[in-house]
């Protein structure tokens, strides 16, 4: 499935917050599972990140394009697509292709795809706050 960036509506998942510091790091969380969402949100916010959540691949593409998060966590299965499709769409845009992506998966098997769809890290569900913090620390090195 291909998407045309101009066909997507604009969104702003990171609400303007006058109390936020300009140096606050932002994470986009593309996840539908309420438990994984809660664990990720709590771990990331506890580490000082601003977190926005979307539930579809298309919403993730729009949010990344419009808000330029510092990092993306994406579930392997979203409401409208796979996480791999969302990664491919995000990386198709030269302005967003370098944003680090962490794949959240319940699958034991590694996805057999192109280098374009390969995340910088994978976390297997059930998630733990410690694993999330380790992945973030590794990416920010």
pTM equals 0.84
pLDDT at 2 over 80: no
In this prediction, residue 6 has a pLDDT band, given cuts at 50, 70 and 90, of: very low
pLDDT at 1 over 60: no
- Secondary structure (3-state) at 9: coil
- Whole-angstrom CA distances from 11 to 59, 61, 68 are 8, 10, 12
pLDDT at 137 over 50: yes
Gyration radius of the chain over CA positions: 14
pLDDT digits (tens, 9 = 90+) for 67-115: 999 999 999 999 999 999 999 999 999 999 999 999 999 876 566 566 7
Which domains, and CATH codes, for the chain? 24-140 (3.40.50.2300)
74 close to 104: Cβ distance less than 8 angstroms: yes
């Amino acid at each position: 499935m291909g998407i045309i960036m101009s066909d997507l509506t604009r969104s702003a998942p990171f609400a303007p917050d006058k109390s936020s510091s300009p140096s606050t790091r932002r994470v986009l969380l593309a996840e539908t599972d309420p438990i994984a969402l809660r664990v990720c949100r709590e771990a990331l916010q506890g580490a000082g990140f601003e977190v926005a959540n979307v539930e579809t691949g298309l919403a993730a593409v729009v949010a990344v394009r419009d808000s330029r998060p510092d990092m993306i966590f994406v579930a392997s299965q979203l409401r409208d697509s796979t996480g791999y499709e969302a990664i491919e769409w995000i990386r198709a845009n030269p302005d967003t292709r370098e944003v680090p992506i962490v794949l959240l998966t319940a699958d034991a098997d590694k996805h057999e795809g192109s280098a374009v769809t390969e995340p910088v890290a994978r976390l297997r569900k059930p998630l733990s706050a410690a694993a999330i913090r380790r992945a973030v620390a590794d990416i920010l090195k």
